[in-house]
Chains A and B, each alone.
Chain A
């Protein structure tokens, strides 16, 4: 009896090992461990055994049963694992194939420059003011200390629509309009971005339409040194922490004193290169202390209030920053051009 059980065990374990399908294992289980199986039969015949033999054979039969059972369980797990591995192997992809790109457009480089400048000054407490692109002669010129027949009007050739209405030649009329709205009460702290138009023939460095971004700060005790400090912050944030600035006297009808701001060249650091034309300095913007006539005409008392204003061209800044050689690129909108400013 004992030998018979041992033989059964050997036989069943071989059957388990050779099984390659879960179905075969099921068959093995039914065949050896089922109610009509040989082990059950052995246990049924136990009555015929002596009292000494009975526990020994009983124990052995149970051991054989468990051994077969655990072999089956193990094999089932192994088969399942193998199956999963096979499936996963069949699911493998070529990870070097290109991804399913979600197409993303891009902002125009001028938008990038303008938003960067806007955000910078918002951080310094400025708001963004806007105004009409078709403007009254009064706001575009007269309120800015440029009366009719003033020779300085020659500096900006304009597109007139009627004698009193024209395409604005700068965003300064927004300053005049905003100051007027403040009814002589400061502070006024604004940035005015927008399109402007001048009678120029389009070429690599001229455009009849371009962008401007101007700033204005009117309050009690605003000084030229504040302008210098504010512009220094701007220059460092915009062009790099190690930028130096210098102010040069200049002329604008709406400011007195008027200054131009140069920054130390961000390409060569001031040693002289093609970007700065060998001078080490790059002209970035025009600015100055607001002319008392401008303050007065916009309802501010120049004895009480002073202020500064500055203005610059986003095209010029973008051209300098990114090395663009032709201003017309901004208005041609070639996608191969636009794509290059994703990072901007």
Chain B
């Protein structure tokens, strides 16, 4: 909402309050003033001039040589190219030395041999946007009213000495979508009087009711419908003052009739519609629901297909307007219109909102209806418009307003314990202070005993419950006066949940492993969602948005790896080859085609690594990141949560992953994640180097039950270590060997550690030697060589018989 300071000054005396001060006060009272603009910004030395004579330039067809009186001793000669310049006009002159918007300085010049001492200005040259310039001045200079005083500062005549306050109107402040509403607000803020327009009509003796009848099908949807008939209209441009009011409000002046209804809408907040009554097609207005599929061509020359949800104005037969949204083209007011039917009505907000949303047609009228308007202002607004039509379009207003529904309804009332205001705000206001707030707001209020009775004016449909009154008091009294206290209620312990604590630990672990945390988008492409298989390969159906803004962000991710690969690629493209990143975030999976319930959401931990393990150093060779780098990080994670013994790894073949370098991660024999290298083909497609990734269902992992932590006695007796090197077939995995060693060596065997793998000709084709260090310990006594030897022998035998291992000689 653009509020002209000069216009507002007509309703509330703003003496002593600068536009900036006013803006600050309005903002503090709850309606944010986003900008304050001086309309004459960047203009200097622009005066009213009188064109004494205007002759064709001797050397140029399209130029005129004008002698202009600018109130100085001598006239100045100005060369002007505007087609509409003529002798006898009062015009806007930028004198030599003047400045126009855009820091355009006016200098004495010679145009085709003739001296020009200044410039006669168009509105555009004065900084007014094309779209607000009245069409009669669109292609030429601006002509002022005859009364303008020659030589005077031109800005006031152009209303460029005005300031415009741009108010950000939130849904609860719709009462400030009009000047009267703003005036009430400002009068309350400044605690000053308010002066409202009182329309005075000179109605003819002919009753409007003799020309038209009104019928409303559903009073609930249309609580009030009023119509006035205005005859003998002469359509033409509006006077300057009206044009300037509209321009300051950001509305383009069109013609007197259109301008008047826009003006009254801005002033009263009441949308008005004018029908060309001769084109209306009947003497009967019927407001009803549209028929399913009914068609109407609206003012914007678009054919609209309506549904039975839409309210329409009809002439009894066919629709002539979509109620509260837009009129029909057939009955539009034109330059030749003589009689109008002036509509001022109250329509149901919800109905208007639905229709305008469905049609994608938001108009000044519909947005006001949606947010709620003053129920009691409709008849006054019609009178105000009729008055202006009398004055500005030479029209005759027929007697009376033909209407359905009461012209005025009583204000709603709210009763509440007055102390509740103090209880909610934490203040100690006295009865008088509270009543004084309502006096300033011009709400009827009285306190009887403990009860506060408030009569809420119809202009404030947003105030419906006691809490709304609390807010009115709070914002009027000022929150600066509310003390700062701390809650006195029962005390609570604040702490992270077990899961939240562990999640933070995981993050710190990842950071400690040299990985940077990323946050990527949850919305991704369908294609990326299928790039890499998800942890549970059965759960691979992404959730799709009903109406994505683009295919780039159309589905929710089922895994995070593709997003991290994007991050890796971003860095490769910028010559940063060593990248290690991780992210913890939710993934989403739909188990039905069309969701009827919320999809499954799980938190995953994902990492992506490429390049070398450490940045280049002088002390050692760089080591490339490989499968075991990533596995080491995962092992470290499980170790930190004491889950190592319950975790196993098995080779896996997964979509998008290297078939020989990928493993599933199992917790208690259930797959909870995977790790490995991105499939080389995919790496190429994505312009990646060798990249390793992991994705873990961290939610399941962190929620895994674990025994309570308890201390184990430190061993009092020494452990004995025996090494063993076993030659086995390539196909035998380390996991298998360790499994056999551990199960056979128990309970004395405490630890098995692989320390060497050897392949060589001496072992034979397809063989490898695996060397393990086995640690034996008896917590009860010192082990003897003999005891250890016995178990160790058993371990060896088991490896031989079960896995075909041979002790390396």
Which residues does A use to contact B, with CB under 8 Å?
Answer: 97-98, 100-101, 103-108, 110-111, 115, 118, 121-128, 132-136, 149-152, 154-155, 159-162, 165, 167, 186-187, 189, 195, 197, 199, 201, 208-209, 217, 219-226, 228-230, 232-233, 246-251, 253, 256-259, 289, 291-292, 306, 330-335, 338-339
Known: A167-B523, A248-B27. 7 other contacts (CB 8 A): A108-B517, A108-B519, A133-B601, A162-B596, A229-B485, A249-B474, A250-B170
Between-chain CB contacts (< 8 Å), 10 pairs: A105-B517, A118-B496, A125-B494, A127-B495, A167-B522, A223-B426, A249-B28, A251-B30, A251-B173, A253-B171
Q: Which residues of B contact A225 (CB under 8 A)?
A: 425-427, 482-485
CB within 8 A of B471: which of A197, A257, A333? A257
Assess whether A292 is in contact with B465, with CB atoms less than 8 Å apart. Answer: yes
Assess whether B556 is in contact with A122, with CB atoms less than 8 Å apart. Answer: no
Residue with the greatest number of chain B CB neighbours at <10 A, chosen from A106, A108, A121, A257:
A257
Residue with the greatest number of chain B CB neighbours at <10 A, chosen from A149, A152, A160:
A149
Assess whether A334 is in contact with B27, with CB atoms less than 8 Å apart. Answer: no
Least Cβ–Cβ distance between B104 and chain A, in angstroms:
27
Assess whether A160 is in contact with B549, with CB atoms less than 8 Å apart. Answer: no
Number of interface residues of B (CB under 8 A): 95
Residue in A closest to B549 when the chains form the complex, CB atoms: A199
Assess whether A330 is in contact with B519, with CB atoms less than 8 Å apart. Answer: yes
Assess whether B30 is in contact with A248, with CB atoms less than 8 Å apart. Answer: yes
Bitwise interface map of B from 580 to 607 toward A, beta carbon under 8 Å scored 1, else 0: 1110011010000011101101000000
Q: With A and B bound together, what is the CA distance between A259 and B618 in angstroms?
A: 59
Assess whether A108 is in contact with B467, with CB atoms less than 8 Å apart. Answer: no
CB contact list, B344-359 vs A, under 8 A: 349-350, 353-354
Given A103-B615, A224-B425: A111 and B488 within 8 A (CB)? no
Least Cβ–Cβ distance between B768 and chain A, in angstroms:
32
- B719: interface (CB < 8 Å): no
CB within 8 A of B483: which of A128, A134, A228? A228
Q: With A and B bound together, what is the CA distance between A133 and B427 in angstroms?
A: 38
Least Cβ–Cβ distance between A153 and chain B, in angstroms:
9
Least Cβ–Cβ distance between B414 and chain A, in angstroms:
13
Assess whether A128 is in contact with B497, with CB atoms less than 8 Å apart. Answer: yes
Assess whether B489 is in contact with A247, with CB atoms less than 8 Å apart. Answer: no
Q: Which residues of B contact A306 (CB under 8 A)?
A: 423-424
Least Cβ–Cβ distance between A332 and chain B, in angstroms:
7
Assess whether A162 is in contact with B546, with CB atoms less than 8 Å apart. Answer: yes
Residue in B closest to A250 when the chains form the complex, CB atoms: B30
Q: Which residues of B contact A223 (CB under 8 A)?
A: 423-426, 485
Binds A, one of B73-81, B325-333, B508-516: B508-516
Least Cβ–Cβ distance between A309 and chain B, in angstroms:
13
Bitwise interface map of B from 490 to 502 toward A, beta carbon under 8 Å scored 1, else 0: 1111111100100
Least Cβ–Cβ distance between A168 and chain B, in angstroms:
11
Least Cβ–Cβ distance between A227 and chain B, in angstroms:
9
- B543: interface (CB < 8 Å): yes
- B507: interface (CB < 8 Å): yes
Assess whether A208 is in contact with B523, with CB atoms less than 8 Å apart. Answer: yes
Residue in A closest to B493 when the chains form the complex, CB atoms: A125
Q: Which residues of A contact B514 (CB under 8 A)?
A: 103-105
Main secondary structure of the interface of A (DSSP, over half): mixed
Assess whether B516 is in contact with A335, with CB atoms less than 8 Å apart. Answer: yes
Assess whether A232 is in contact with B617, with CB atoms less than 8 Å apart. Answer: no
Least Cβ–Cβ distance between B504 and chain A, in angstroms:
7
Q: Which residues of A contact B371 (CB under 8 A)?
A: 151
Q: Which residues of A contact B507 (CB under 8 A)?
A: 107, 111
Assess whether A106 is in contact with B516, with CB atoms less than 8 Å apart. Answer: yes
Q: Which residues of A contact B543 (CB under 8 A)?
A: 134, 161
Assess whether A106 is in contact with B517, with CB atoms less than 8 Å apart. Answer: yes
- B323: interface (CB < 8 Å): no
Q: With A and B bound together, what is the CA distance between A270 and B424 in angstroms?
A: 30
Assess whether A149 is in contact with B350, with CB atoms less than 8 Å apart. Answer: yes
Q: With A and B bound together, what is the CA distance between A224 and B520 in angstroms?
A: 37
Q: With A and B bound together, what is the CA distance between A112 and B521 in angstroms?
A: 18
Assess whether B556 is in contact with A128, with CB atoms less than 8 Å apart. Answer: no
Assess whether A105 is in contact with B510, with CB atoms less than 8 Å apart. Answer: yes
Q: Which residues of A contact B486 (CB under 8 A)?
A: 226, 229-230, 233
- B343: interface (CB < 8 Å): no
- B288: interface (CB < 8 Å): no
Assess whether A335 is in contact with B467, with CB atoms less than 8 Å apart. Answer: no
Bitwise interface map of B from 615 to 648 toward A, beta carbon under 8 Å scored 1, else 0: 1011100000000000000000000000000000
Q: With A and B bound together, what is the CA distance between A11 and B570 in angstroms?
A: 83
Residue in A closest to B509 when the chains form the complex, CB atoms: A105
- B190: interface (CB < 8 Å): no
Q: With A and B bound together, what is the CA distance between A132 and B601 in angstroms?
A: 7
Assess whether A333 is in contact with B570, with CB atoms less than 8 Å apart. Answer: yes
Least Cβ–Cβ distance between B599 and chain A, in angstroms:
6
Residue in A closest to B571 when the chains form the complex, CB atoms: A335
Q: Which 8 A-B pairs have the closest CB atoms?
A: A225-B426, A249-B30, A223-B426, A257-B471, A103-B514, A249-B475, A219-B489, A247-B479
